[in-house]
Amino acid sequence: MKSNIKDIVSYVSYVVGFVMLIIVLSKFHFYFERMFSETYKIFPWHMYAILMYLPIGVFLGLPNFIKAFKRTGKWKINVKKLIIIILPMLFISFYWYFPFVYPIPDFIAETKVFSRFGMIVVGFILIDSVTKEDDDKNKSD
């Protein structure tokens, strides 16, 4: 029974933390958008607005990271995963800032969703690529 209550408390805490994160990030996002519209300078305000979605991905990957943190073993970073997934997602997120890729395709230019989802994926993969190898695996090799 204690395990069930502990699980419920951890899930509720996670949801409350996620909602608080969304509220804080949306306030920052609207601030950056307002600064962009008042100053007519895309850089750095638009870039900051895109980067605001990175913590959402990190927060989504946090439960797996906490499970890995509790295990014993050596920390490993999956560099292949970082390079193969994060680099294209960063490119998609900051497509507007690379002058050598013009003209911008319509499916990207018409929406900001690609840059937002790209940063969420980057945040998730960043935290998900850091894992621990179990000591049992090392002993059997």
Each residue of 1-33: pLDDT tens digit? 678 898 899 999 999 999 999 999 999 888 888
Residue with tokens 């319509």: 106
111/125 same-domain check:
yes
**HSE-up (13 A, CA, CB side) for residue 128:** 18
pLDDT digits (tens, 9 = 90+) for 44-65: 877 888 888 999 999 999 999 9
**HSE-up (13 A, CA, CB side) for residue 16:** 6
4/28 same-domain check:
yes
Higher per-residue pLDDT: 114 or 139: 114
40/68 same-domain check:
no
84/115 same-domain check:
yes
For residue 76, what is the enclosing H or E element?
strand 73-77
62/46 same-domain check:
no
Q: Is residue 141 part of a domain?
A: no
58/91 same-domain check:
yes
104/64 same-domain check:
yes
Q: Is residue 67 part of a domain?
A: yes
Q: Which residues touch 84 (CB under 8 Å, ≥6 apart)?
A: none
* pLDDT band, residue 105 (cuts 50/70/90): low
Give the domain range for residue 85.
54-133
48/58 same-domain check:
no
30/70 same-domain check:
no
Residue with tokens 């090392």: 138
Q: Is residue 129 part of a domain?
A: yes
Supply 34's token pair. 């307002």
C-alpha to C-alpha distance for 31 and 61, rounded to whole angstroms: 26
Taking 70 as the threshold, does the pLDDT of residue 124 lie above it? yes
> Count of domains in the chain?
2
